[in-house]
Structure 1
Amino acid sequence: MSADGAWKISINTPMGPQEANANITTSGDTFTGEISSALLGSQTIQGQVAGDTLTWTSDITSPMPLTLEFEAKVEGDKMSGSVKLGPFGAGALNGVRA
């Protein structure tokens, strides 16, 4: 299933749910795109595609410097997975095509 397109994503964090918008373009076993949220700002992302699963990391500076590690499975118009939140454990990730 292709992950190409616009997504509305929700990430459960210790600071409560964080909403983000993402645009993804796949090319073989890689993808590029952009993700933006009110708290984390906007940044370019790139990662790996393995079947229906996307993985990538994002270095953020707000609300504090952290490296977030994403893993998301795409099933039709839904996305689910988790985000490793540095020393704060992991949070669930859910998304739908926008």
Structure 2
Amino acid sequence: MSVAGQYDCVTKSPMGDQKSVLTVNVDGDSWTGSNAGQMGALDITDGKVDGNTLTWTMDMKVPMPMKLEGTATVDGDTITGQVKAGAFGTMAMTGTRKA
């Protein structure tokens, strides 16, 4: 099963649970997309696919400029991973594929 699709995600941030929709568009061993939530949408950069594992970066502007680094594993319709947010440490992320 492809890791491509849209996932309803929750990231456990210092500001509470952040809900978002992660869009994964796979092209070979790379991927593009976005993570859209209450603070707007962040474009995925440097997206890589290794089997069912995704890695990526996002440049956050609001509420402060920061580079976010994500890694996640897709298992069927479930995505589980983490987002590293500089000095704020690592935040857990989970989600399910949208039908």
Q: Secondary structure at the match of 2:87?
A: helix
Residue identity (%): 41
Structure 2 counterpart of 1:31: 31
**Alignment match, 1:44:** 43
RMSD over equivalenced CA pairs, Å: 1.0
Distance 1:27 1:83 in 2: 22
Specify the alignment match of 1:74 in structure 2.
74
Secondary structure of 1:87's counterpart equals helix
Deviation at 1:89, TM superposition (A): 0.6
* Uncovered stretches (5+) of structure 2, i.e. residues with no partner: none
Counterpart AA for 2:42: Q
TM-score, normalised via structure 1 length: 0.93
Q: Which 10-residue stretch deviates more, 74-83 or 24-33?
A: 24-33
User: Is contact 2:43–2:59 with CA below 8 Å preserved after alignment?
Assistant: no
User: d(CA) in 1 for partners of 2:10 and 2:77?
Assistant: 14
Which residue number in structure 1 is paired with residue 83 of structure 2? 83
What is the CA deviation profile of residues 12-71 of structure 1, one whole-angstrom value per residue up to 9, with x for unaligned ones?
1111110111221112110111221112x1132140001110000001111111111000
Matched residue type, 1:7:
Y
Check whether the contact 2:42–2:59 (CA below 8 A) recurs between aligned residues: no
Please give the alpha-carbon distance, in whole angstroms, between the structure 1 residues aligned to 2:18 and 2:62: 13
After TM superposition, what 4+ stretches of structure 1 lie above 2 angstroms from structure 2? none
**Matched residues, number:** 97
Q: How far apart are the structure 2 equivalents of 1:96 and 1:23?
A: 12
Query: Which blocks of at least 5 consecutive residues in structure 1 are unaligned?
Result: none
Which one-letter code corresponds to 1:35 in the other structure?
N
